[in-house]
Structures are given as C-alpha cells and as structure tokens.
Structure 1
Amino acid sequence: MSFDGAFTHAMVHELDTTLSTGRITKINQPYDNEVVVTVRANGHNYPLLLSANPTYARIQITTIPYVNPPVPTNFTMMMRKYLSGGIIQSVTQMANDRVVRINLTSRNELGDQQNLILIIEIMARHSNVILVDAASMKILDAIKHVGSDQNRYRLLLPGAQYIEPPKQELTDPFGGPLANLAETVANYPNVEVLAKELQHQYQGLGKDTAIALADDLHQPGDLVDLFNHFFTRFNDPQPTLTIYSNNKTSFSAFPYPAPEDSQRDEDSTLSELLDHYYSDKAERDRVQQQGSVLIHVVRNELKKNRTKLKKLQQTLSQSDSADEYRIRGEILTTYLSQLNRGMTSIELPNFYDEMKPIQITLSNQLTPSQNAQKYFKKYQKLKNAVAYVNEQITLTEANINYFDSIESQIELAAPKDLTDIRLELEQGGYLRDHDHNKKKNKRKAKVSAPETFTSTDGVKISVGKNNLQNDKLTLHTAKKTDIWLHVQKMPGSHVIIHDSHPSDATIKEAAELAAYFSKGRQSSNVPVDYVQVKRVHKPNGAKPGFVIFTGQKTIYVTLDAEIVNQLK
C-alpha cells in the first residue's frame, strides 16, 4: 500500500494522540531529505521522522537508529533556532490529502511566544518539509528549495508566502458517501473497475485502499453503513503487514483483502508497522544515495579488472601455440637451402608429425635465415610472457575478489558503515581524499566498532561490516582462543565468537550471522568455516580483509532472518 490520504488520516490520529503537548528536545538531519525531531511527551522520548525522500516519503515515530553528520545542515540550524523547546499543540491533516501540519508554539529570541506550523507534504518526488510562521504564513525554511524555474504555481523559498498544493475537486471520504453511491456501485459490478471510479470521486484513495473499499461495497448490507464502517476503521487501526507468496510486502491500517497463500503480521502502532516495512528498503535507498560515489568507483574497478583478466587469458591461450613457432623455426633451419628470398610461403616435410607436409608463411622482405629466426623470436617471446601473464592473472583475480567483496559490503551496509569503506578506498588510492590538504596534521581516522550480537547462551558475537572492521576485529581485538567464522569461498564478514568453547547452538547462530552478512545471504544451505583465531593469519602485503587459515571445520546453515533480529 502507498502512504495515501486514508493512511495519512490514521497516522495523523496516532501522532496527535501521542505527541500533543509534547516538547521538542532535539532536531537532527541524518540524511539529505529526512529530519528527526525528538519529542518528549508523557514521560517518553519519541523520535519523529519527517521524510521528504522521493521514494519513501512519510511521517512516523521511528526506533531505527541513525548517525548524525559531523556538521549540522543550514536547515537543521534553522529548525533548532525556531523549534527547540517548542510545544506541539496538535497534528492535523489538510482534508484527506497527504499534507500534515504540526502546529507548535515556541519562544523567539526576545522570549515572546510565537506560533509556527511544520508542514510535511508527502507527494513522491515533490515531497517537502516546510517551516512556516503561522501569523503571516511566510516560509521560514524548507528542506528542499523550489524556485520559479521549477514550479510556476508556488515558491518554496525562505521569505515566500506559503501556498497550499493544488487541490483536487474530490470529496473527502471521511465526511460520508456521495448521494450517488448506490448508482455508482450498481454501474460497476467489477471490483477493480469500481475501485478506479471511487478514486475519481473521493480524495486520497490509493489503489489498494480503493480496491478494499470496492470489495466491501460489494458485500451484502446497506451501502452507507458499509462505506462509513470502512472509514471508521482508520480511527481504530489494526496495523497490518501483508507478505505475499513472491516475498513482496505491503502495509495497511487494517487487513485488506489478500490471496489465501499470503501471510499477515500485526504491529501495535502504525509507526511500528512502517519501521517493520521500511527498515530494509529505506536503508538500502540511503546507502545507494550516500554511497553512490563508492559504488561507482568499485564498479569501475571491477569492470577494468574483468576486462584485463579477459585479455590476459587470451594472451595465455596464445602462448599454448608457442611450440608451433619453434617447430616452424626448426623446420625452416633444417631445409634452409630450399628457401629463396622473396618467397611468401613454402610447404616442407614436418618431421614432428610423420613427415606430413606443413605450410609455413614467409616474409618476402627477409632472408631465409631471418625468416627462421623470426619464428624462434616469437616462440621465445611467448614463453617469456607465460610467467608474467600467470603472475598478472593471479593479481587481477585477487583484485576482482577484493572489489567484489567491497561491492557486497556496500549492499549489506548501513549508512554509518560507508565511512569505513570510503576510508579504505582512499587508503588504497582508489578514491581521492578531498580533505587531505585541509589539515596536514589531522588525526588518523578511527575505524568504527563492529556490530555486536548476543547468542541465546549469552555469549557475545562480533561481526565486521567492512574490511577495515574485519582486520581490526580478527587481528587486534579478538583473543587467540576465540572462534573465527566466515562463509566458504565467497565475500562476507569476519565473525568472532568471544568464547573459547562455545556451545553448538552458539556456533550455529554465529554461522547464521556469517551467512546473513555475506554474498550468500539469499542462498540456502550455506557452508561456513570456523576455526580458532590463532589459526587465522594475514599474508604480508595482502589487501584489507584478506586472511588465510588452516584446520577449519565447516557447518552448513540455512538463513533465518528472524533469528538474526532476535540476536541483536
């Protein structure tokens, strides 16, 4: 389900109940298009996410952790100036549109009370978060500035008059049904066709909501009662996540009609439901946005090395024919007297193949002896190239494995993990360090801590999320008697069980973590090697994250994401 007007209605009701009279204590902008406003209400801190993300725009209370940038943005500073210590009076919705208003009071620099409105417009790529002075309706700031060259209807710039988004000439369904409802239902017996017609008549109905309403209206009973009952349920929601047989998911304020083979999970609040739904999707989107430069560098390096490997393999295959050049040179030397300058080819007996004749190409610009020497030189050149080419193939394959592992780490990374990956690429010379000239004596960058889990036996398990974390965890942090795990023959995280004699259950859980944080994440029956840390070594000059080990045992696991979540 999309975050449509009807879902917005339910969310506004939840937020108004939870946050009204709450005080704003913190304001942060961890991502370009998203602000987190911490509200202290009823003895609890509620991190309120205001997202103008083009794909995942929404408003909700979130428990997903985030990392703040080292320097706050101008928008963050403006928000802090006006809203710090402010009191939320109410949370309202504009008709049944996806526009939410948070009405606040705060004190200005002189201590006088001022009324402000924080407006969240949830409209796909046009989504925005706008701070407005309630008395004059002047825009104080917006998370996305929109000038006249982008929108002729209205400006979204500091100092401009706030103009509401264009209104649709549709009816708010929470005000009751239209008089012609019975006629409409009678004219459209097909549920999907009726759903489209309902979208043309009522404001804020997404496709799923319209289909669910159409399905209800085709049930026995009074149409007005069915209609009113459907929209009354948004005031007392049953937050529902529907999982379909193809593993796609959708969310709704209460259970919508779904195929029999689908599964349903229920959450206690709409905000928990959205955390459940967006936790992975939004993280991947943030990583794609913030790590776009890293992804570009890694993919370019992979492409370059794969092209190089292909050429090296072609060169190596040509060296297999080196003996053919030697044979031609020896035959020409043996029958040198039969050659004359100016000949372009000659057929001679091949004493290496039962004297069968062999056709040998000659250069008419060379003497017979020079033609023979030309074949010997080609033979020697190819033989000398074999050792070099084999060495280059080994190095190139190592580079491909290295960048393949970084690509996998980016795919599995949280936004906070990208800092270490960027640092690693800068240290390797693959990515320019734009800050290296600013502070000649700047401190050495600190590698972030690995992710920590706890087994059902209470044993601590650490997981490196990138190569720098892997090296630090395995080579410097772990005890020699701890247990080290890694998926077999594919990129993945180093996993450490901080126990010298863990139970079989702990080993299995750690192996599932190793499989989860690896390229085999979507596979079943994943082989995971495990061994004591003292048997793991890093070769001299090896790239970050690369180690060798001996004496390992192997366990096969099929990943269960629910177990991974329970271990956090």
Structure 2
Amino acid sequence: MSFDGSFTHSMKNELTDLLQTGRISKINQPYPNELILTIRAHGKNQQLLLSANPTYARVQITRVPYVNPSVPTNFTMIVRKHLSGGILSEISQQENDRVLTFTFTARNELGDQTKLDLVVEIMARHSNIILVEQATGKIIDAIKHVGSDVNRYRLLLPGATYIKPPKQDLENPFTMTDFDRVRQLIKDFPNVDVLAENLRKTIQGLGNDTSLALATSLHKDEKVETNFKDFFQKFDSPEPTFSHVAGNKINFTAFPYPGTTKNQTFSTLSELLDAFYASKAQRDRVREQGAVLIQVVKKQLKKNRTKLKKLQRDMKDTENADDYRVKGEILTTYLNKVQRGMTSIELPNYYDENKLITIQLSDQQSPSQNAQRYFKKYQKLKNAVKFVGEQIQLTKQEVDYFENIQSQIELADPQDLVDIKYELEQGHYLRDHEQNKKKKNKRQKINKPEKFVASDGTEILVGKNNLQNEKLTMHTADKRDTWLHTKNIPGSHVIIRSFDPSEKTLAEAANLAAYFSKARGSAKVQVDYTKVKNIRKPNGTKPGYVIYDNQTTLFVTPDESLIDQMRK
C-alpha cells in the first residue's frame, strides 16, 4: 500500500491521457499542503489534486468536493499569477522515482510566452510542490519552504536554483536491458521475503508490496527476463484494485498483485485513490484544521472533569453533616463538664446507647463557642448540599456538551468546523480574533445539514454539529416530519422528510443517527424517534439541546457501508 515510483509511472500515463493539452481554468488551495488545478481538457473539467500531505502525499484527479478558505494563501496567489490560463504541454517522471513534473506554457506580465514547471515530490514528510521557471531553473515559490538549516543539499526557497532530489544508484525497471544482477539475486536469496528486500535495494521505485509481488512473480520459473518485463508492462495497462492483505487490511495496487485476494476494481487509478484516501485524508484535514478546536475542547473537558471530582468529594463530605450537629448538641448538653483550654473531651453519646464519643475542641475558644462552631459547620454543610448538587448537575451537562462537541469534530468535514468554531466563540470558550472587525456584526451563515437518500428515495437530513442540529430541527423541519436521535447519548439530529416513513426508511435513518453519535462504534444502539411537533427547546439551554416525548425506540448497529450507499 504505497504510492511508490512504479505506481507513479502508471499515474503519469493516466494523467497524460486525460489532461495533456488542457488549459488551467481555476487554481485553489483548499488545505495547507494541497493544491487543486481545474483543467479543461478534451471537453471536460478535471480537478487535478496535487498533495504534499506528509501522510497522504499523492497526485490524482479527484471528484471529492472541497471548500476554499475565504482568503487565498500567498502560494495560491503566486501560482495563479504565473499559471492561470496556462496549457499543460507535458507530464514527466524523474526516472522511476516519485517525482512528477507538470510543464505548462503560459504568458508572463509582458505577454511573452514562457514555460513553467510545477514539480510534485512525493516523499512522505519531505513532500513538496514547487513552481520553477524552466528557462532559468529558478524557484518561483514552493508550498513548503525549506532552508539550509533543514536541508544543506538544496534550498527550496523563492529565488534559489531548483536542484532535483539526489539520484539513487538503482536500476530503472522500465528501461533495464541487463538482467544478470536480478538472476544473481534470485540465486542468492531463495526466500521470497529476503529476495523482495534485496530487489528494493537494486530496482528503483519499489515499495514493500510491489517488491514482494515482483519477487513472487520471479520465483515462478527460470524465465527471469520475461517475467520481469511482463510484471512491469502491467503498469502501462493498469487494472486499479483493492486487495485484502494480512490482518484483513485493504491494499491499493495498479493491478492485482500475485498472492493477494482480489477484492474490488476501479475504472481509473484516480477513482481508486478517491475511494481509498477520501475518508482518511478528510480525517487528517479535520485534525489539522481543527487543532485549536480540539485543544479547546480537551482543555474544557479536563477542567470540568476535575471540577466534577472535587464537587463529588464535597458532596460526600456533606454526608457527615449530622455528625457535627450531634457533637454540637452533646457539647451543649454537657457544657458544665467542658473547661476552657481543653483540646478534646469524651462524653456520653445519647444517640448511640450512651457510648462515649470523643469531641475535638479548640483551646482558644470557650465551651459555648466550641459548641457553636460545630453547629456552624453543620449548617454550612447542610446549605452546601443544594448548591453542590446544582453545581454537579451543571458540570455534568458541561462534560456531556464537550464530549458531544468532541464527537462532532471526529466526524466533521472541514466545512463543518466553521460552525463548531462559531459556536465555541459564541459560548466564550474560544476567543474571537475578529470580534472588533465591522464585518463580524453580520450573523454567520450556518452550513446546510448533510443529505442522504433512503432506499425508497426518501430524503433524510443529518445535522453535523449543534448549530446545524438546532436549525434543522427547530426551523427547517416540518412539524409532521419524523425526528430521530440516539437515546441518552450525544449525537446528531436526523430528520426524515416524510410524514409517514416506511419501517425500512426508519431503520436506515436510525442507522444514520447511531453512526453520527458517540455510540457509532457500539452494537445495538438505542435510537428514539418521534414527530418534530413533540420536540421542545427549554429556554437558556445550549445550542442543539432539546427535550421530547411520545417517542418509540429502535435498536440498530451502525453500518458504514449502508451510510455510504445513502450518500448523495
């Protein structure tokens, strides 16, 4: 499972067929390390994703929707300045390495034709996207700036000369003519795993899975050259595949590798990568963009959980309030036996068969003052019961609230984070850095809930955060629609846009409610459903909080495959 040099070779061919001679119509940078070029080629608009994400670096055509930031980055503006309207003349690969160069013909400020290279280096945490002026070899800009303090071999800074990544002393499998070295490796290393490891040290562009597949192919018989060429020819006519590997993990490959179980095929490599990376990359983007929100939520949860423990200890202390009353009353009864200066005294406890009770005294107070001190402690604890009880209830609500927010962030799309951030700002949990700007006088527009379609065609709406939940239930939904929510568990509000939904639609909507909740990893989750007219929002409660009655409860186990089928 790797975007290695051999997979890059296949992707280069696919992109060349689909994009070459196309013209750039849009340039956007929706996420910090990712650039999307909209290219009009062969009568179609294609979204070319160039990703320098440390974990999911890749190049592909994507159909996954994205949301642009309100203000474009400096890198976006520079790329737009130089490449807008440019024609893609060539896509080339640095031998069999994970480096692709997109060559564009564009016009400069003077109207002169110029050639520019957009270089994508797919190298894990060192991945980068670099815009280079072809005539001079100078770097115009890079999505990640790399100075001499990080890399002494080459600078990736505006104005520096672009130097290619260090060349590996390995054979390019697509241009090899001498196979004696490979034959010797097969002879020296009869074990397939060991052979695969040594092939990686000899052949360029082999990931772990590709080298193991190659080693398996070469062990078939003694036709080394034929088997070798046949293996790499398959990268020129790929059959994009998901395969099961050890531990029931899913692996993506350019074609079905030997020794794996074929699972699912796709028409293009880009569709394969969309299916594999869409949710993984989305989670990564959410973690990246929502880092501040996650930190705020964790801080609030820690603070409130600590407060709750302290309040519960205080409440436990109030259970001993009667002990202070008893001691005060006994002291008052036997006041004539208490002398000033005593630090303790044993007196009969007429509440417990006149057994002796030891009472601590202050030698700085009179007998009467000591008795009054116990009565004051008793009264203070008695008064605290109501206050502490109320505080415990409020603190539990805060914990539930932030656990709900935490769950919403985990399942959020990047655009949903805007609503969550706004909610935290309105609740004064997060500082609004734009609060003094005039434009903030405008009320922020809440994003629309996610839309799903049941198997019978009924529309189902799902709120992805508290603000969406409140707007969906209290303003968007018809009073006759059906509302669903996990029972006693934080989660999304789900609305079935039907006055009389079928049992199957109810079950599918309940599955959505269970999946978009804190219980998504559980089995037999309880989901309540009722009519929207039975929903009420108490005054002064937090966004998304409602109470309801006349509900019916269903039991469902969240099924992600069913969720995917209902997405539209």
Q: Does 1:520 align with 2:519?
A: yes
Determine the structure 1 residue equivalent to 2:26. 26
Unaligned runs of 5+ in 1: none
The Cα of 1:243 is off from its aligned counterpart by 4.2
Range 301-310 or range 215-224, more displaced: 215-224
Kept after mapping to 2: 8 A contact 1:244/1:263: no
The Cα of 1:236 is off from its aligned counterpart by 1.3
Q: Does 1:145 align with 2:145?
A: yes
Determine the structure 2 residue equivalent to 1:563. 562
DSSP 3-state at the match of 2:441: coil
* Counterpart mapping for 1:363-402 below 5 A: 363-402=362-401
2:233 maps to a residue whose letter is: T
C-alpha separation in 1, matches of 2:127 and 2:471? 42
Determine the structure 2 residue equivalent to 1:415. 414
Determine the structure 2 residue equivalent to 1:202. 203
Range 385-394 or range 241-250, more displaced: 241-250
Determine the structure 2 residue equivalent to 1:57. 57
Determine the structure 2 residue equivalent to 1:353. 352
The Cα of 1:514 is off from its aligned counterpart by 1.1
Kept after mapping to 1: 8 A contact 2:346/2:359: yes
The Cα of 1:244 is off from its aligned counterpart by 5.1
Range 242-251 or range 359-368, more displaced: 242-251
C-alpha separation in 1, matches of 2:256 and 2:363? 86
Determine the structure 2 residue equivalent to 1:217. 218
Q: What is the root-mean-square deviation of aligned Cα atoms in Å? A: 1.5
1:300 maps to a residue whose letter is: K
* Counterpart mapping for 1:264-279 below 5 A: 264-279=263-278
Q: Does 1:112 align with 2:100?
A: no
The Cα of 1:90 is off from its aligned counterpart by 2.0
The Cα of 1:47 is off from its aligned counterpart by 0.3
C-alpha separation in 2, matches of 1:100 and 1:83? 17
Residues 131-187 of structure 1: per-residue CA shift (max 9 Å, x gap): 112222221221112222222211212222111011111111222364222221121
Residues 277-325 of structure 1: per-residue CA shift (max 9 Å, x gap): 1111100110011000000001100000000000000000010011111
2:455 maps to a residue whose letter is: T
Determine the structure 1 residue equivalent to 2:473. 474
The Cα of 1:95 is off from its aligned counterpart by 0.5
2:308 maps to a residue whose letter is: L
C-alpha separation in 2, matches of 1:428 and 1:148? 45
C-alpha separation in 2, matches of 1:221 and 1:505? 58
Unaligned runs of 5+ in 2: none
Range 291-300 or range 66-75, more displaced: 66-75
Determine the structure 2 residue equivalent to 1:229. 230
The Cα of 1:441 is off from its aligned counterpart by 6.4
DSSP 3-state at the match of 2:201: helix
2:267 maps to a residue whose letter is: S
Kept after mapping to 2: 8 A contact 1:323/1:379: yes
Residues 502-558 of structure 1: per-residue CA shift (max 9 Å, x gap): 111111111111112111222222211110001011111000111000010111122
2:21 maps to a residue whose letter is: T
Kept after mapping to 1: 8 A contact 2:297/2:405: yes
The Cα of 1:246 is off from its aligned counterpart by 4.6
Q: Quick one: structure 1 residues 151 and 449, their matched pair in 2 at CA, closer, same or farther if it must change by over 3 Å?
A: same
DSSP 3-state at the match of 2:174: helix
Determine the structure 1 residue equivalent to 2:311. 312
2:293 maps to a residue whose letter is: L
Q: Quick one: structure 1 residues 441 and 20, their matched pair in 2 at CA, closer, same or farther if it must change by over 3 Å?
A: closer
Range 290-299 or range 553-562, more displaced: 553-562
C-alpha separation in 1, matches of 2:418 and 2:560? 25
Determine the structure 2 residue equivalent to 1:99. 99
- TM-score, normalised via structure 2 length: 0.97
DSSP 3-state at the match of 1:201: coil
The Cα of 1:23 is off from its aligned counterpart by 1.5
Residues 349-369 of structure 1: per-residue CA shift (max 9 Å, x gap): 211112222222222222222
The Cα of 1:337 is off from its aligned counterpart by 1.8
Determine the structure 2 residue equivalent to 1:73. 73
Kept after mapping to 2: 8 A contact 1:139/1:158: yes
Q: Quick one: structure 1 residues 257 and 559, their matched pair in 2 at CA, closer, same or farther if it must change by over 3 Å?
A: farther
- TM-score, normalised via structure 1 length: 0.97
1:122 maps to a residue whose letter is: I
DSSP 3-state at the match of 1:430: coil
C-alpha separation in 2, matches of 1:247 and 1:212? 18
Q: Quick one: structure 1 residues 65 and 426, their matched pair in 2 at CA, closer, same or farther if it must change by over 3 Å?
A: same
Q: Does 1:493 align with 2:492?
A: yes
Range 307-316 or range 15-24, more displaced: 15-24
C-alpha separation in 1, matches of 2:226 and 2:24? 41
Determine the structure 2 residue equivalent to 1:403. 402
1:71 maps to a residue whose letter is: V
Q: Does 1:238 align with 2:257?
A: no
The Cα of 1:242 is off from its aligned counterpart by 2.7
1:409 maps to a residue whose letter is: Q
C-alpha separation in 1, matches of 2:262 and 2:438? 55
Structure 1 residue ranges (4+ consecutive) displaced by more than 6 angstroms after TM superposition: none
* Count of equivalent residues: 566
Kept after mapping to 1: 8 A contact 2:256/2:262: no
DSSP 3-state at the match of 1:347: strand
C-alpha separation in 2, matches of 1:402 and 1:287? 20
C-alpha separation in 2, matches of 1:231 and 1:535? 64
The Cα of 1:560 is off from its aligned counterpart by 2.1
DSSP 3-state at the match of 1:415: coil
DSSP 3-state at the match of 1:352: coil
Q: Quick one: structure 1 residues 193 and 247, their matched pair in 2 at CA, closer, same or farther if it must change by over 3 Å?
A: closer
Determine the structure 1 residue equivalent to 2:15. 15
Kept after mapping to 1: 8 A contact 2:217/2:258: no
DSSP 3-state at the match of 1:510: helix
1:184 maps to a residue whose letter is: L
DSSP 3-state at the match of 1:398: helix
Determine the structure 2 residue equivalent to 1:433. 432
DSSP 3-state at the match of 1:154: coil
C-alpha separation in 1, matches of 2:440 and 2:272? 48
Determine the structure 1 residue equivalent to 2:185. 184
Q: Quick one: structure 1 residues 473 and 115, their matched pair in 2 at CA, closer, same or farther if it must change by over 3 Å?
A: same
Q: Quick one: structure 1 residues 246 and 373, their matched pair in 2 at CA, closer, same or farther if it must change by over 3 Å?
A: farther
Kept after mapping to 2: 8 A contact 1:138/1:162: yes
Determine the structure 2 residue equivalent to 1:122. 122
Residues 478-507 of structure 1: per-residue CA shift (max 9 Å, x gap): 111111111112111111111111111111
C-alpha separation in 1, matches of 2:244 and 2:226? 30
Residues 416-455 of structure 1: per-residue CA shift (max 9 Å, x gap): 1100000000000011111111216631111111111122
The Cα of 1:102 is off from its aligned counterpart by 1.0
The Cα of 1:410 is off from its aligned counterpart by 0.3
C-alpha separation in 1, matches of 2:265 and 2:337? 92
DSSP 3-state at the match of 2:277: helix
